Structure 1
């Protein structure tokens, strides 16, 4: 009998059937199997979920949803999960054989007021000139608590107890891929965890690989979306009374400006320079959030 807690692994997917099959297969080939695998499928066309036999221990649930957005998908999966520990990955990863066992052991060791995020290595190049994004390759464990000036939670490799969301809430569905602001749903979740007194523990022994299927214009759009999400995240938590996020925005723009200045002039066009695209996205979403999410709702409240 295992000494590990029961767990639900949640995978969000949209229109990436082949990648999803590889992700599921890697989880079910592990040395320790989840009690439940919840697949939240936002694909435009929902097909049957193809799963190789041999995972009798794991209940597999396929939730077809007409919704859109990674934050919304994760929230659906968390709400549907039937076990105390929720483990989240994306559909474009493959996990190592002992990944789940290592995640759960790290969570138990870290204590009840902790969340675990694992190591993310770049996968093989599935696209011509493809590049993996959102990787974390450090080999030393880390523990973060309190207010820090950087983001440490990776949403495609994380585990927490259900009680966490009962205290701090679910993912902000305005943030993240498919939302109005195209990323930083995990950064926002991580910031709220730390503000609530939780610790975020990085467990490098819990390894998965993030596949490199994006290239060309996919990466340019991703820079824009990443910038917009980060700018919106900063705006959400910004205040003149608490300038922490204003300082972080300033630091980000200065860092990107230095990188832009260090590149050859021929690579500084908006269309081809990732740092310019990212910075423009961050500034546009920061301003948009303040107007759309803060000023307009406040004005409507006053008129009532």
Structure 2
């Protein structure tokens, strides 16, 4: 008989400016209908936040990022500290629905499932801009129109709501510290690159998107401007170029090709239907978003061209080793 695996939930935080968000994230984990076994809060090089969180959250393991500043090594620190079979990640500005943990964990009954991600709903603090296309909600770290609406295999997850068998993350080498966000710098794709590495290492591994496991992701007013939209799209292109250099363009861009062939043209058709007051502005945002992303990708490829076997196949394990404290337990392998 299959049993539900144990789970460590890792929340990474880096600034006191999000203190209320961190409290909401931790509170949502404590309110899960399927109780989580362990909560690890990783503080990314912010001593003041570490001191406050250590005193404020009894029962939560508060640890400091043991590696480079940035989200990737903060997550690696969380993986190293985790004691459970599954390690799940929730952003510090997200709150999990009460059935989130149960929805993720139920899918691990299948031994081929290496990871499960869920729906990320945008919570617009002010108001969603009328021109902002739902197909580009990935710009604000949320699920976008074009993702599967029901349980389905996917190439990679959205970082605000994802989980993996801990053994798979460790065996793959963890998150690359030379990819991803540092503070407010809008780079990313470290989740995509890790998912590609897990799939390359174990071709029979399944990564599942489970929309029933949902979180709410806060979108502040600063992320609703046209300037942020364009800069985030450009940064995504830069990040995708880096992932393509490490893992090969075919795997790294397979989902993006389908997105450009199907999702974006349908979005244009919807935006330009008669009777849509903001249709032209939405169409302009679609064109601008695609253009900025392609420009970022082109610049990224010029700056860091693929060279030699490492550029085609990805980096060796020495570049992506997870830092495992000597006292960390491995959970049930």
Deviations 1:146-181 (A, max 9, x none): xxxxx4322221222221023221011212112999
Asked if structure 2 preserves the Cα contact closer than 8 Å seen for 1:118 and 1:203, the reply is yes
Deviations 1:26-47 (A, max 9, x none): 1111112222111111264523
How does 1:230-241 map onto structure 2 within 5 Å? 230-238=240-248
Alpha-carbon separation, structure 2, partners of 1:287 and 1:253: 22
Gap runs ≥5 in structure 2: 130-136, 273-278, 313-333
Gap runs ≥5 in structure 1: 145-150, 296-304
The corresponding residue for 1:281 is 296
Pairing 1:215–2:224 present:
yes
Aligned with 2:172 (options 165, 168, 173): 168
Alpha-carbon separation, structure 2, partners of 1:264 and 1:157: 33
Alpha-carbon separation, structure 2, partners of 1:181 and 1:234: 18
The corresponding residue for 1:69 is 70
What SS does the corresponding residue of 1:33 show, helix, strand or coil?
A: coil
Alpha-carbon separation, structure 1, partners of 2:256 and 2:153: 24
The corresponding residue for 2:320 is none
Q: 1:291 to 1:212 in 2, by over 3 A?
A: same
Identify, as 1 or 2, the structure richer in helix.
Answer: 2
- What stretches of structure 1 move > 4 A for 4+ residues in a row? 50-53, 128-132, 243-260, 262-265, 291-295
Pairing 1:120–2:128 present:
no
Q: 1:227 to 1:25 in 2, by over 3 A?
A: same
Asked if structure 1 preserves the Cα contact closer than 8 Å seen for 2:245 and 2:311, the reply is no
Alpha-carbon separation, structure 2, partners of 1:273 and 1:88: 31
What SS does the corresponding residue of 1:19 show, helix, strand or coil?
A: helix
Q: Which range moves more in the overlay, 28-37 or 128-137? A: 128-137
Pairing 1:135–2:133 present:
no
Alpha-carbon separation, structure 1, partners of 2:10 and 2:232: 23
Deviations 1:110-165 (A, max 9, x none): 32542111122222x21454674331574411135xxxxxx432222122222102
Q: 1:268 to 1:105 in 2, by over 3 A?
A: closer
Alpha-carbon separation, structure 2, partners of 1:264 and 1:142: 33
Asked if structure 1 preserves the Cα contact closer than 8 Å seen for 2:54 and 2:62, the reply is no
Alpha-carbon separation, structure 1, partners of 2:88 and 2:253: 32
RMSD: 3.7
Asked if structure 1 preserves the Cα contact closer than 8 Å seen for 2:193 and 2:243, the reply is yes
Q: 1:98 to 1:236 in 2, by over 3 A?
A: same
Shift of 1:97: 0.7
Normalised to the residue count of structure 1, the TM-score between the two structures is 0.75
Alpha-carbon separation, structure 1, partners of 2:264 and 2:102: 42
Q: Aligned residue pairs: how many?
A: 276
Alpha-carbon separation, structure 2, partners of 1:96 and 1:162: 22
Asked if structure 2 preserves the Cα contact closer than 8 Å seen for 1:21 and 1:50, the reply is no
